[in-house]
């Protein structure tokens, strides 16, 4: 059966699953070849030993071809067997190694010997009968080993095939009994599956409840591997997202609390800086006042400097003149003493000296000069005194409440203060109504006039004019101050009373002047309006009530610019 099987090569080779055919390959293809070739070689060896003279073809075959073929086939078998040794438990078959081991060792030894025997022949001599004989013997041994191996392999193959047949039989039986069992298994699995689904659903339910409470990071236990599992997985994703969201919310809450704290802090800082700004604003208003004061002081300084300059100069000239007078006086005294003492010899020289020294003081010009010097000096001192009075009038520091005051006078003293500023730039044309007695804060109104007049002067390019008109109308005192300066552009006209609005360069003005004016007029319950045309000039119209009502009589609390 086996041999028959072995002979049926196609059947065996067709089954690619069974790796053990490697061995079969060794047996089926190599062993018959080996047997044939070794027999051939032994026969040729025998003929040499019997004294036959072989043809050169045969000899070459014996020496070169046959051993090569034998060697090749030998290697193939060794390879097949080595692989067969590696196989394990093929359908419960015995190990190939156990089955062929002994025969295989013999086979290896015999073929090895054969090849060893043939080697010296190949190497040394072909015609030695002794050698040929050994050749033949080795061939015989190899052949018998081959037979035995062949048998062992056949046995192993047999065992393998039996194992395979058994396996197939088992499969057949399994088909017979296995199908109902399979159904049972399916039902069992279905029940298991249902349970697993229910478990998943319950888990879903439970976890979602926990999730709703927001106190879990658990995941749904996933046993199933189907759509529900997908649902579960999605649920897990959603759940985890929810948990994450929850965490995020917590974090956001914390962040919000932090921001709230920051907000509170910055609010506090804001309040502080607000206070600081207010303080700075007060300081700015103060510095604006100081700036206008500074301007005023500079103007006054110049105004004072001029009379001071010539008064001082006059006194120095007077001093020089007095020195001359004293010189003449001294000479006269000298002459008198000489006369009294009777020193007559020097009289002429002394007289000549007096005449010489008196030349400059004898002229009518000299006494006129002294008189003028004194008069002009006094005039200068009067001018300084006037300035001091004007300053006092302007500031009216002694009056801290509404006082009936002549506005005309206020404007006049303001013009004197601003004289230095105005005189080089503008001619002032006054049109004053005679009675301008008004209840007001004189010092503050003067500040208003000074501010507006200063602006007017600054608006004039080159030489210009300032018109000042006062009159009363419907219980209001009206002051109009007009200039022919460059005028205010329309877009700026609305903003001029706003604090900090300025068109002057940084450092030139705080932009508070007119806002202070506005405040002061407001405090007097008056109005201030402005008309302007670019290139033509500007006119400010101030109206304040002639009489202030009683409740405003104590103004200290309402006045911010005190």
SS3 431: strand
Asked if 372 touches other proteins (CB under 8 A), the answer is yes
To the nearest whole angstrom, how small is the minimum distance from the Cβ of residue 350 to other proteins?
A: 24
Chain centroid to CA 410: 61
The CA distance from 81 to 152, in Å, is 12
DSSP 332-395: HHHHHHHHHHT-GGGHHHHHHHHHHHHHHHHSHHHHHHHHHHHHHHHHHHHHHHHHHHHHHHHH
To the nearest whole angstrom, how small is the minimum distance from the Cβ of residue 308 to other proteins?
A: 5
Asked if 371 touches other proteins (CB under 8 A), the answer is no
Residue 309 C-beta-side C-alpha neighbours within 13 Å:
6
Q: Which stretch binds other proteins (CB under 8 A): 185-193, 311-319, 393-401, 431-439?
A: 311-319
Q: Which stretch binds other proteins (CB under 8 A): 197-205, 242-250, 297-305, 495-503?
A: 297-305
Helix, strand, coil shares, percent, the chain, to 5? 70, 10, 20
Asked if 461 touches other proteins (CB under 8 A), the answer is no
SS3 517: helix
Taking alpha carbons only, the member of 327, 410, 392, 404 closest to residue 362 is 327
SS3 460: coil
To the nearest whole angstrom, how small is the minimum distance from the Cβ of residue 383 to other proteins?
A: 8
The CA distance from 410 to 387, in Å, is 14
Of the pair 314, 510, the CB lying nearest other proteins is at 314
Taking alpha carbons only, the member of 470, 517, 480 closest to residue 497 is 517
Q: Which stretch binds other proteins (CB under 8 A): 306-314, 491-499, 503-511, 554-562?
A: 306-314
Of the pair 219, 383, the CB lying nearest other proteins is at 383
The CA distance from 415 to 409, in Å, is 10
The CA distance from 223 to 202, in Å, is 12
Among 172, 253, 302, 392, binds other proteins (CB under 8 A): 302
Of the pair 261, 320, the CB lying nearest other proteins is at 320
Asked if 312 touches other proteins (CB under 8 A), the answer is yes
Number of residues in contact with other proteins under rule CB under 8 A: 26
Of the pair 379, 406, the CB lying nearest other proteins is at 379
To the nearest whole angstrom, how small is the minimum distance from the Cβ of residue 304 to other proteins?
A: 9
Among 97, 155, 210, 423, binds other proteins (CB under 8 A): 423
Q: Which stretch binds other proteins (CB under 8 A): 113-121, 200-208, 281-289, 371-379?
A: 371-379
The CA distance from 217 to 220, in Å, is 10
| Neighbour tally for 286: CB within 10 Å | 14
Intra-chain end-to-end CA distance of the chain, in Å: 136
Asked if 327 touches other proteins (CB under 8 A), the answer is no
Among 158, 218, 223, 376, binds other proteins (CB under 8 A): 376
Residue 367 C-beta-side C-alpha neighbours within 13 Å:
4
Among 281, 306, 343, 508, binds other proteins (CB under 8 A): 306
Asked if 454 touches other proteins (CB under 8 A), the answer is no
Asked if 316 touches other proteins (CB under 8 A), the answer is yes
The footprint of other proteins (CB under 8 A) covers: 298, 301-302, 305-310, 312-314, 316-317, 320, 360, 369, 372-373, 376, 379-380, 420, 423-424, 463
């Amino acid at each position: 059966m086996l041999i028959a099987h072995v002979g049926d090569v196609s059947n065996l080779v067709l089954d690619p699953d069974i790796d053990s055919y490697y061995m079969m390959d060794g047996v089926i293809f190599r062993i018959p070849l080996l047997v044939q070739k070794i027999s051939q070689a032994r026969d040729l060896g025998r003929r040499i030993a019997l004294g036959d003279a072989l043809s050169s073809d045969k000899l070459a075959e014996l020496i070169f071809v046959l051993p090569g073929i034998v060697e090749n086939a030998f290697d193939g078998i060794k390879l097949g067997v080595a692989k067969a040794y590696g196989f394990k438990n093929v359908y419960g078959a015995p190990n190939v190694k156990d089955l062929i081991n002994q025969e295989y060792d013999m086979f290896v030894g015999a073929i090895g010997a054969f090849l060893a025997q043939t080697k010296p022949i190949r190497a040394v001599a072909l015609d030695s009968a002794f050698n040929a004989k050994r050749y033949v013997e080795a061939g015989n041994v190899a052949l018998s080993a081959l037979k035995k191996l062949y048998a062992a392999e056949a046995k192993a193959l047999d065992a393998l095939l039996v194992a395979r047949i058994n396996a197939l039989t088992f499969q057949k039986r399994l088909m017979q009994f296995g199908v109902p069992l399979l159904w049972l298994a399916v039902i069992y699995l279905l029940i298991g599956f249902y349970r697993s689904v229910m478990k998943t659903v319950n888990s879903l339910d439970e976890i979602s409840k926990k999730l709703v409470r927001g106190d879990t990071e658990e995941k749904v236990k996933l046993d199933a591997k189907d759509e529900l599992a997908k649902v579960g997985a999605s649920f897990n994703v959603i759940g985890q997202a929810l948990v994450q969201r929850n965490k995020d919310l917590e974090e956001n809450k914390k962040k919000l609390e932090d921001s709230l704290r920051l907000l509170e802090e910055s609010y506090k800082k804001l309040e502080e800086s607000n206070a600081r700004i207010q303080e700075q604003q007060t300081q700015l208003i103060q510095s604006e006042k100081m700036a206008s004061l500074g301007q005023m002081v500079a103007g006054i300084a110049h105004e004072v400097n001029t009379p001071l300059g010539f008064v001082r100069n006059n006194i120095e000239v007077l001093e020089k003149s007095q020195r001359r007078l004293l010189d003449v006086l001294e000479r006269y005294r000298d002459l008198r003493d000489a006369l009294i003492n009777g020193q007559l010899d020097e009289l002429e020289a002394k007289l000549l000296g007096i005449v010489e020294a008196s030349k400059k003081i004898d002229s009518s010009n000299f006494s006129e000069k002294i008189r003028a010097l004194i008069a002009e000096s006094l005039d200068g001192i009067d001018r300084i005194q006037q300035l001091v009075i004007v300053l006092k009038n302007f500031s009216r520091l002694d009056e801290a409440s509404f006082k009936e005051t002549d506005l005309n006078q206020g404007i006049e003293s303001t013009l004197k203060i601003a004289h230095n500023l105005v005189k080089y730039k503008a001619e002032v044309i006054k049109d004053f109504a005679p009675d301008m007695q008004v209840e007001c804060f004189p010092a503050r109104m003067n500040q208003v006039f000074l501010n507006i007049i200063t602006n007017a002067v600054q608006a004039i390019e080159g030489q210009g004019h300032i018109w000042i008109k006062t009159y009363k109308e419907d219980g209001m005192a009206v002051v109009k101050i007009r200039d022919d300066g460059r005028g205010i552009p329309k877009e700026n006209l609305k903003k001029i009373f706003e604090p900090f609005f300025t068109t002057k360069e940084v450092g030139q003005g705080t932009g508070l002047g007119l806002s202070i004016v506005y405040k002061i007029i407001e405090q007097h319950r008056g109005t201030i309006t402005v008309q302007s045309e670019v290139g033509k000039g500007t006119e400010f119209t101030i109206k304040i009530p002639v009489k202030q009502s009683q409740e405003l009589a104590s103004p200290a609390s309402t006045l911010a610019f005190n």
